[in-house]
Amino acid sequence: MSSEGLKKTLEAIPVLKTRAGPRDGDEWVTRLKEEYTSLIKYVEHNKANDSHWFQLESNANGTRWFGKCWHIHENKKYEFDVCFDIPVAYPVAIPEIMIPELDGKTAKMYRGGKICLTDHFKPLWTRNVPKFGIAHAMALGLGPWLAVEIAGYLNLLANSVDNFSHGVSLGASFSISVRSGLVATSCLLIHEVPHEVTDFIILLRSGFSRWGAIKAQVSKFRNFKPRFSN
């Protein structure tokens, strides 16, 4: 998101006033009303700009939130379950947003599917207590995280399918003749070298360390298994 787009988004989200957490009785009820108002305004802003990307609801006392978030990549919609609990120390403490389906599949994620927001978001949140709420956590936390991290995950997913098809094609080529198989292998090697370099760069830009990107690249080749006929 550009700085101008971010500014417009922040202007569309009302800031909160009540400094209260789940154990603060009536003050928490007041805080919840502010949270809902802020979320509604943010969703309305997204829909008006054709950028709606999540749905949330909560339990009766507002301590558990759950719903869906989605990301559009190359005109395809990828949807994930999202959930989080409101910490006792809220709003000083940030909710730990979780996408369980992506547990262990992206670099910046803790065990259980908790996304890593500390590097870029925690200082911003700390400076804006109690003004920031759930809508801000979605807009400034999960939204940017999805835009960056999901690219690496989807790249690995697509390449796993791609490598499986390569294995099938090699198996079919060798079933015709050894010469056909060797020609197909040569063509695939010429194709794969620049392809893998590009994928490696994508993973690095998605937050993977160099060693993590190498391991991810190697793991996807488990699907690359030629099938030879007898």
The token pair that represents 16 in the structure block: 């909160």
Residues near 112 by beta carbon (within 8 Å), at least 6 away in sequence? 98, 100, 103
- What gap in Å lies between CA 22 and CA 156, rounded to an integer? 40
**Which one is catalytic: 69, 83, 116, 187?**
116
Residue 124, classified by CB atoms within 10 Å of its CB into exposed (0-12), middle (13-18) or buried (19+), is middle
Using an 8 Å Cβ cutoff, are 111 and 103 in contact? yes
Sheet containing 64-73, strands listed edge to edge, beginning at the edge strand earlier in sequence: 54-58, 64-73, 76-85
Active site residue 116: yes
Place of tokens 């502010």: 34
If 0-12 CB within 10 Å is exposed, 13-18 middle and 19+ buried, where does residue 115 land?
buried
DSSP helix/strand/coil, 132: coil
Active site residues: 116
